[in-house]
Structure formats: C-alpha cells, structure tokens
Amino acid sequence: MQALSGDPKIYASSAAAFFAGARSAMTSVYVVVLIGTYIGLGALAHDVGLSSVWMMASTIIVWAGPAQLIIISAVGTGGSLIEVAIAVTLSAMRLFPMVVALLPMMRKPGTRLPEMLLPTHFTSISMWIESLRLLPYVAREHRIAYCNGLSSGYMGTAVVAGYVGYFLAAGLPPLLASILLFLTPLSFFLSTVNNARQVIEKIALVLGLILGPLLAYWQVGLDLLWTGVIGGSIAYAYGRYRRSAS
C-alpha cells in the first residue's frame, strides 16, 4: 500500500506512471478478489463446455464479472440470445455513471478522445473504486497512464486466474466455491464503505444498501437503476441543501 499523502506525484515518464499503476494493482486487495472471482468463472466456463481461449477472450473484451457470469451460466441453463443480451445490458448500466464520474478526473486541456477509449473500456467496479481513491495522488498529466497500468494489472490477473480456474474445475468443492463467490460482494462492500468519506457518499451508500434489495423484493422493474437514481439523487439533494444553507 502506498502512502496516501502530500502533493500529486509527478512521474519521470508515462511508462513509469503505467508501471506504478500496475504495481499498485498487484498490492491491492482486488488482486485476491479477482483471482477468486475468475477462478470461479473459469471453472463454470469449463463445466458448461466453453473453451479456455473463449474464457480468456471474454475477460478481455467484456471485462465485467456480472455480465460474464450471466453469459456463461446461460450457456449451461438455457435462455435465448435476446434474453441474455437484455440481462447483460441491465447489469452493465452501472458502468455509465461510473465512466461519467471517472473520466473528468483524468482529462486535462488538450486530451484527445482516443486517449480516453482505453480507460473507458477498462472501467469496472474494482478499477473504479481504486482509481477514485488513488488518482488524486497522481499528477494529472500521468493519470491516464497510471490508470491504464492499474487496469492492465487487474485484467492480466483475471485472464490468468480464469485460465487456471478452467483447469481446476473438476476439483472445486462446493464450500470453496461459495467462499470464492462471497469475495466479490464482501470486498466491494468494505471498499465502498472505506471510500465513502463525504457525507453525501455515506448517504448514497446506506440508501443503496437498503433500496437495492427492497426494490428487488417488490419486483420493481429495473430495480438497480432506480436504486442508483433515487438513492443518489436524495444524497445529491442533501449536498445541494447543505451548500446553500452554509
């Protein structure tokens, strides 16, 4: 873990910033989480009869655990192409506000659109949480390189873990499989708590934890979308109110 204090760090070159990002990926708790998650996904891909190369390709081009879980399990349990596509796109909506919140952190005057394509594709929950935490300590001109390094570290780890899981498949006992599956919600939960330092972030977090399961239980359509919009808007409105009151 690097010390999080002082002025934004200026690196000798973009390459140095990239490798600093990759190094911080390797020392973060998400490496353990990604290994656990992707061993599980790789094992599942094996069980439903997909190839190991397909598994690795899906990690690189989809790069979203929930979406990959939907596709791979649908091969096993059935479901039409259109049903799977809809389920994937509903699970992917979360990426939209994440990208909007993240990209302005790394852009500077003169940054061209093509430079933003890679960070856009790399956007995932783990990368987003870590980028929001670490980028303020990186000089603005090196943030894109740093973020690409961080994401490459994560993606490389996930690709390898998926491949390993594919060949471990047969020997994975149910209790171990459930422990691996529990890694994702547990680590995201604690990291989100850890990152929510402002009052409006804490409000959004608590409202999301309550509204998510409640709206799903009430079988409200697009429950996660509404959870985000309602919980986030209440928190945002409170922030506006506080700013105008002070």
Partner 1 sequence: MKEAMVSLGPYFVLILVGFLPNEVWRLVGLVMARGLNEESELVVWSRVVAIALLAGVIAKLILFSSGELAGVPTPVRIGAAVIAFAAFMAAKRSVFVGVLAGEVALFAGAAWYAA
204 makes contact with partner 1 (CB under 8 A):
yes
Binding residues among 133-172 for partner 1 as defined by CB under 8 A: none
CB of 33 to partner 1, least distance (A): 8
Stretch that binds partner 1, among 14-22, 147-155, 163-171, 185-193 (CB under 8 A): 185-193
Exposure class string for 203-236: b at 16+ Cβ within 10 A, else e:
bbbebbeebbeebeeeeeeebbeebbeebbeebe
Question: Is the Cβ–Cβ distance between 181 and 217 less than 8 Å?
Answer: no
Which one of 10, 15, 26, 32 is in contact with partner 1 (CB under 8 A)? 32
Residue 109's alpha-carbon distances to 9, 105, 140, in angstroms, are: 19, 12, 10
Task: Tell me the C-alpha distance between 35 and 99, whole Å.
Answer: 24
Work out which of 160, 164, 168, 205 binds partner 1, going by CB under 8 A: 205
Is position 34 an interface residue for partner 1 (rule: CB under 8 A)? Answer: no
To the nearest whole angstrom, how small is the minimum distance from the Cβ of residue 19 to partner 1? 23
Site for partner 1 in 70-129 (CB under 8 A): 71, 73-75, 78-81, 84-86, 88-89, 91-105, 107, 113, 116-117, 120-121, 123, 125, 128
Q: ∠ CA 168-42-173 to the nearest 5 degrees?
A: 45
> How many residues form the binding site for partner 1 (CB under 8 A)?
103
**Rounded Cα distance, 201 and 188, in Å:** 15
Give least dist CB 97 to partner 1, A: 4
Q: Could you give the angle at the alpha carbon of 227 between the alpha carbons of 224 and 231, nearest 5°?
A: 155
> Least Å distance between CB 12 and partner 1?
26
